Amino acid sequence: MPGAAPDNSRASLHGHWSSRLAFILAVTGSAVGLGNVWKFPYMVGQNGGGAFVLVYLLAVLLIGLPIMMAEILIGRRGRRNPVTTMAILGVEESGTAAWRWIGIMGIVGGMLILSFYSAIAGWTMAYIVKSATGTFTGATSETVNAEFVALIADPLTMGAWHTLFMALTVIVVARGVERGLESAVRVMVPALFFILVLLLFYAASTGEFLTALRFMFAPDFSRLTPGVVLAAVGQAFFSLSVGMGCIMAYGAYLPQDASIAQTSVAVVLSDTAIALLAGLVVFPVVFAFGLDPAEGPGLVFQTLPLALGQLTGGALFGMLFFLLLAFAALTSAISLIEGVVAWLIETRGLSRPVAATAAGVTIWLIGFLTVLSFNVLKDFRFGRGTIFDNVDFLTSNVMLPLGGLLIVVFAGWFMSPNSTAAELDPAGGRLYRTWHGLAKFLAPVAILLVFLNSVGAFG
């Protein structure tokens, strides 16, 4: 609809963020979580180090950032839950409501991600207690390993922590998104950063810091298989929370005068800094204690307790660290469930507490597939591995990149430049042209090539 007047008049149904900072904090709360501290290091370790990190960084900058901007601008323009927003804008900009399938896929994706996310967040909560009680003080790698193995081997304990985490998520979401979220993120993200920096000093003293630097930043291109490239791109989506409409849902509450570009850059920088920092703490410990970098999902839970156990006051710092990480996971979990909750409220007429409970119970039940993937069902393997491995692959490496692809294609090709510029940069200056070029050509082509290239990796 070239020439159509920009429609900035819709108001959100759930109120607005009180300021630009509040929005930055909320999106940061969504982005920073287990993806940075738990998933990033183990993915780097499993996928050969530097080459993975390089592709990850490129994907964050050239694909993740423009998609984040696209999601926020679409969200703010539609001002509804992602399904309704995509339907409204789909009709306005391209004459069809079929675009709502992006929102539907995002809601399903968010529920699937949260199902395993909650199980892992449960480990984090178990580690608050383990650290506080001094389990790791001066511990050897054998002790630390035995603690982790015992935790995941027991479906009841793991299930109980998973249940507690889902219950907390539902309680927070039932009471409304905003209350408490802003102040929690404001304290939590800097505090998490601070403890990681503290651990970095320890990591630098292990004698294996250079080995770790080389592992993370000297790319061995022979490791760069199509599967590794797909995994790196998928991790970029996962870590930034893009591709599933969650940032779109948050954008719906963004005041009209806030700068989308500045906000996105701030979030992307802090998210990436925390992931790299986590890697820089984990890998020196891996090499100093002779652990296996390709250990998998347990990597962080086997390395950080070792590092913390060597510090004076390690029990206290350990407790604080896992507490902060659990909080970071909670603010991400809220964003993962908010899509389906907003949808239930707006289209099914449920109250917020009922919607949150219904969604929470469903996700909690699905989560037991992940809980059992580490014990009773750990030998039940197909496709990518355990049930958890498959849910993780399907969401991070298929659904998020596919959602992201459709979102940029919609924003770059189907929305009129008038509409997108009205949100991003009404003067249509260099910022706008750069974004438009990335959203229209580079990001979609890159995602398509990664997909095509990895067809074999889907087998």
Rule CB under 6 A: which residues touch ligand PHE?
Answer: 30-31, 33-36, 113, 238-239, 241, 244, 246, 332, 335-336
Instruction: Give the position of tokens 């920073």.
Output: 32
Structure-block tokens of residue 6: 């920009």
Give the Cα separation of 355 and 81 in Å (integer): 14
Shortest distance in whole angstroms from residue 177 CB to ligand PHE: 14
The residue whose Cβ lies closest to ligand PHE is 35
Q: 93 vs 338, which CB is nearer to ligand PHE? A: 338
Report the alpha-carbon distance of residue 268 to residue 185 in Å, rounded.
Answer: 15
Nearer to ligand PHE (CB atom), residue 67 or residue 415: 67
Residue among 244 and 411 whose Cβ is closer to ligand PHE: 244
Of 238 and 374, nearer to ligand PHE (C-beta) is 238
Which tokens in the block code for residue 178?
Answer: 């905003």
Least Å distance, CB 102 to ligand PHE, is 14
CB of 70 to ligand PHE, least distance (A): 15
Least spacing, CB of residue 278 vs ligand PHE, in Å: 11
CA distance 56 to 66: 15
Decide if 27 contacts 263 (C-beta within 8 A).
yes
Is the CB of residue 12 less than 8 Å from the CB of residue 252?
yes
* Minimum gap (Å) between residue 250 Cβ and ligand PHE: 10
Q: Report, in this order, helix, strand and coil percent for the chain, each rounded to 5.
A: 75, 0, 20
Nearest in space to 121 (alpha carbons), one of 35, 34, 203? 34
86 vs 336, which CB is nearer to ligand PHE?
336
- Confirm if 83 and 343 have CB atoms less than 8 A apart: yes
**Residues 6+ away with beta carbon under 8 Å from 182:** 18, 22, 25, 26
| Cβ distance to ligand PHE smaller for residue 25 or 34 | 34
Task: Give a three-class secondary structure readout of 299-361.
Answer: HHHHHHHHHHHHCCCHHHHHHHHHHHHHHHHHHHHHHHHHHHHHHHHHHHCCCHHHHHHHHHH
Pick between residue 84 and residue 332 the one whose CB is nearest to ligand PHE: 332
CB of 37 to ligand PHE, least distance (A): 8
The CB-of-55 to ligand PHE minimum distance in angstroms stands at 17
Q: How many CB atoms lie within 10 A of CB 408?
A: 28
CA distance 318 to 301: 11
Q: How far is the CB of 371 from ligand PHE (least distance, A)?
A: 19
Q: Pick between residue 277 and residue 315 the one whose CB is nearest to ligand PHE.
A: 277
With beta carbons less than 8 A apart as the criterion, state whether 369 and 209 touch: no
* Residue with smaller CB distance to ligand PHE, 108 or 377: 108
